[in-house]
């Protein structure tokens, strides 16, 4: 079956395989300027804890080369820049030019410069040499990728032996009683916040839907291992609303 005939999901919609990338691009062009504000509002600021936890487990240190995929406005890239130092390098990458521009401007405004570079790239076919990066991160971006397995295989190719991949993503609640409240908040409050603060309810309705269509913790673990990574483990945060998967290339 050709890609034109294949179907995938865009939130709860069924769309042609080749159509999803364009639709996701439109969402992130729309939300780019308000991305940081909306992250704080939607998560009550807890997204900062999720990212700090990720950095803490990254084992990134001076001289390392790090790839931050779907890096958005650069929160992880900024933290990694401090860790790798002048001898290291961080690539902030995003498929969306609007997001990458906002991220670059934000980091430059904060004085982050010499060891951070920028690349507009599709995670499914990364334009980097084999065995380049000590650590590859993708935070809240994998669920938007059309071919997730292809993206993970591409990450595996550019990861150095001894390196690791870290996937920080919304997942399935595991805390008893949390799911009904989380669903109510996601489908009733998130779109309203998007409308009130970003004049964009539909993009945040897509956010809630895309989270539900993303693989659960164990399914994603299996997918990461299928891509070639080993020793995959995951950490649930905030009752399983978010999970961090870490796996290695040996």
* pLDDT at residue 77 tops 80: yes
* DSSP codes, 116-143: EEEEE--GGG--S-TT-EEEEEEES-GG
Q: How far is CA 79 from CA 25, 192, 247, in A?
A: 26, 31, 20
Beta strands 159-170; 133-139: pairing state: parallel
Q: How confident is the model at residue 48, as a pLDDT?
A: 94
Q: How confident is the model at residue 39, as a pLDDT?
A: 84
Q: How far is CA 65 from CA 57, 100, 157, 204, in A?
A: 16, 19, 15, 33
Span of 22-26, 64-68, 183-187, 243-247 with lowest mean pLDDT: 22-26
The mean pLDDT value for 97-123 works out to 93
Q: What is the CATH number of the domain that holds 170?
A: 3.40.50.150
Asked, for residue 105, whether it belongs to a domain, the answer is yes
Structural domain including 145 reads 36-175+215-248
Q: How confident is the model at residue 137, as a pLDDT?
A: 98
Q: How far is CA 39 from CA 33, 51, 131, 199, 203, in A?
A: 12, 12, 33, 15, 13
Asked, for residue 140, whether it belongs to a domain, the answer is yes
Question: Rounded distance, CA 112 to CA 198, Å?
Answer: 27
Asked, for residue 243, whether it belongs to a domain, the answer is yes
Average pLDDT, the chain: 93
pLDDT single digits (tens) 210-221:
999 999 999 999
Asked, for residue 99, whether it belongs to a domain, the answer is yes
Asked, for residue 144, whether it belongs to a domain, the answer is yes
Say if CB 160 and CB 136 are below 8 A apart: no
Q: Is the model more confident about 36 or about 157? A: 157
Question: Rounded distance, CA 216 to CA 239, Å?
Answer: 13
Q: What domain count does the chain have?
A: 1
Q: How confident is the model at residue 23, as a pLDDT?
A: 82
Cα angle value 122/124/130 (rounded, 5°)? 95
Q: How confident is the model at residue 4, as a pLDDT?
A: 53
Nearest to 61 by CA among 87, 23, 37: 87
pLDDT single digits (tens) 121-164:
999 999 999 999 999 999 999 999 999 999 999 999 999 999 99
| pLDDT band with cut points at 50, 70 and 90 for residue 26 | confident
Q: How many secondary structure helices (H) and strands (E) does the chain include?
A: 10, 9
Q: Is the model more confident about 35 or about 208? A: 208
Asked, for residue 8, whether it belongs to a domain, the answer is no
Record the tokens describing residue 124, joined without a space.
Answer: 């499914």
Asked, for residue 180, whether it belongs to a domain, the answer is no
Q: How confident is the model at residue 10, as a pLDDT?
A: 82
Q: How confident is the model at residue 114, as a pLDDT?
A: 92
Q: How confident is the model at residue 125, as a pLDDT?
A: 97
Question: Rounded distance, CA 176 to CA 83, Å?
Answer: 37
Encode 43-75: b = buried (16+ Cβ within 10 Å), e = exposed: eeeebeebbeebbeebebeeebbbbbbbbbbbb
Record the tokens describing residue 72, joined without a space.
Answer: 């958005």
| pLDDT band with cut points at 50, 70 and 90 for residue 188 | very high
At 184 the three-state DSSP class reads helix
Question: The whole model's pTM is what?
Answer: 0.92
Q: Kindly state the DSSP code that residue 249 receives in the 8-state scheme.
A: -
């Amino acid at each position: 079956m050709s890609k034109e005939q294949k179907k995938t999901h865009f939130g709860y919609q069924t769309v042609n395989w080749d159509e999803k990338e364009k639709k996701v691009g439109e969402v992130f062009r729309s939300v780019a300027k308000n991305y940081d504000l909306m992250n704080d509002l939607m998560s009550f600021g807890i997204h900062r804890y999720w990212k700090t936890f990720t950095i803490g487990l990254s084992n990134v240190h001076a001289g390392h080369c790090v790839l931050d995929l779907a890096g958005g406005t650069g929160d992880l890239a900024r933290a990694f820049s401090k860790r790798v130092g002048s001898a290291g390098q961080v690539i902030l990458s995003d498929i969306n030019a609007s997001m990458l521009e906002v991220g670059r401007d934000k980091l430059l405004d904060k004085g982050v410069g010499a060891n951070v570079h920028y690349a507009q790239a599709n995670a499914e076919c990364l334009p980097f040499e084999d065995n380049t990066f000590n650590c590859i991160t993708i935070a809240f971006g994998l669920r938007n990728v059309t071919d997730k397995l292809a993206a993970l295989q591409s990450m595996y190719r550019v990861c150095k032996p001894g390196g690791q991949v870290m996937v920080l993503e919304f997942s399935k609640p595991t805390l008893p009683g949390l799911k009904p409240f989380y669903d109510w908040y996601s489908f009733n409050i998130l779109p309203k916040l998007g409308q009130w603060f970003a004049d964009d309810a539909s993009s945040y309705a897509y956010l809630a839907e895309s989270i539900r269509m993303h693989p659960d913790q164990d399914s994603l673990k299996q997918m990461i291992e299928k891509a070639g990574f080993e020793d995959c483990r995951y950490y649930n945060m905030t009752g399983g609303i978010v999970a961090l998967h870490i796996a290695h290339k040996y």
